[in-house]
């Protein structure tokens, strides 16, 4: 359990870290803002998935995900095909053009980081990456599922008892 001053300083750094993200965003192609880039990255890394799963990985509301995905689909980077198992759902897939775009994003980002962090050790880069992943887990940064009124009480009680469910991989559509 850290001291109060330590938490205050952590909060300050969390509040300010967005400046680095904006820096990276400025090097991205104008047609591919950071939200879209995140969509392509996650699809490239985790493979085909449904909207809901992507929203969970992005840790934003599905309405936000829907907009980013529409932006990418408009540019031919993503294909949305109907899910045969659940007609409400759509399967997202990176197209060849989307893969090209992702490769380009990756190149630009790696180039920038390699330049800016040239005096960082591998270990420090890894440590920062790992600690950021860990704090996201500590906050359980996935959007709260939108529950129907009747199920809120039960789900809330469950969430208090076991906040880190982490059952995404085993969940079956409907």
Partner DNA sequence: TATTGTTATACTCTATAACTATA
Partner DNA sequence: TATAGTTATAGAGTATAACAATA
CA–CA separation, 174 vs 87, rounded Å?
A: 11
Q: Can you tell me which residue has the tokens 């982490």?
A: 166
Q: Is 165 in the site for a copy of itself (CB under 8 A)?
A: no
Shortest Å, Cβ 112 to a copy of itself:
9
Q: Is 136 in the site for a copy of itself (CB under 8 A)?
A: yes
Long-range contacts, stretch 33-38, CB < 8 angstroms, 24+ apart: 33/71, 35/64, 35/67, 35/68, 35/71, 36/68, 36/71, 36/72, 36/77, 37/105, 38/68
**Nearest by Cα to 78 from 55, 52, 103, 44:** 44
Partner that binds at residue 141, options DNA, a copy of itself, none, CB closer than 5 to 8 Å by kind: a copy of itself
Q: Is 69 in the site for DNA (CB under 7 A)?
A: yes
Q: Is 74 in the site for a copy of itself (CB under 8 A)?
A: no
Q: Is 164 in the site for a copy of itself (CB under 8 A)?
A: no
CA–CA separation, 36 vs 71, rounded Å?
A: 7
For DNA, the binding residue among 2, 148, 157, 161 (CB under 7 A) is 148
Partner that binds at residue 152, options a copy of itself, DNA, none, CB closer than 5 to 8 Å by kind: none
Partner that binds at residue 166, options DNA, a copy of itself, none, CB closer than 5 to 8 Å by kind: none
Q: Is 139 in the site for a copy of itself (CB under 8 A)?
A: yes
Which span (15-23, 48-56, 86-94, 148-156) binds a copy of itself, by CB under 8 A? 15-23
DSSP at 167: -
Alpha-helix residue ranges (DSSP H) falling in the chain: 4-16, 18-26, 34-46, 51-58, 62-74, 96-116, 122-138, 149-161
Report the interface residues with DNA, using CB under 7 A: 18, 22, 25, 30, 33-36, 50-52, 55, 58, 60-70, 80, 83, 86-90, 143, 145-151, 173-174
């Amino acid at each position: 359990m850290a001291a109060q001053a330590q938490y205050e300083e952590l909060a300050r750094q969390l509040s300010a870290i967005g400046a680095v993200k904006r820096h990276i965003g400025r090097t991205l192609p104008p047609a591919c803002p950071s939200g879209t880039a995140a969509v392509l990255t996650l699809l490239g890394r985790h493979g085909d998935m449904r909207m809901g799963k992507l929203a969970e990985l992005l840790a934003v509301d599905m309405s936000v995900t829907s907009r980013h995905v529409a932006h990418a689909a408009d540019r031919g980077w993503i294909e949305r095909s109907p899910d045969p198992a659940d007609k409400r759902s759509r399967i997202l897939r990176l197209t060849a053009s989307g893969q090209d775009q992702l490769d380009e994003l990756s190149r630009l980002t790696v180039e920038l980081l390699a330049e800016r962090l040239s005096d960082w050790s591998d270990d420090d880069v890894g440590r920062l990456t790992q600690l950021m992943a860990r704090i996201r887990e500590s906050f359980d940064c996935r959007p709260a599922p939108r529950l129907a009124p009747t199920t809120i009480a039960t789900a809330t009680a469950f969430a208090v008892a076991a906040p880190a469910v982490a059952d995404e991989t085993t969940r079956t559509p409907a």
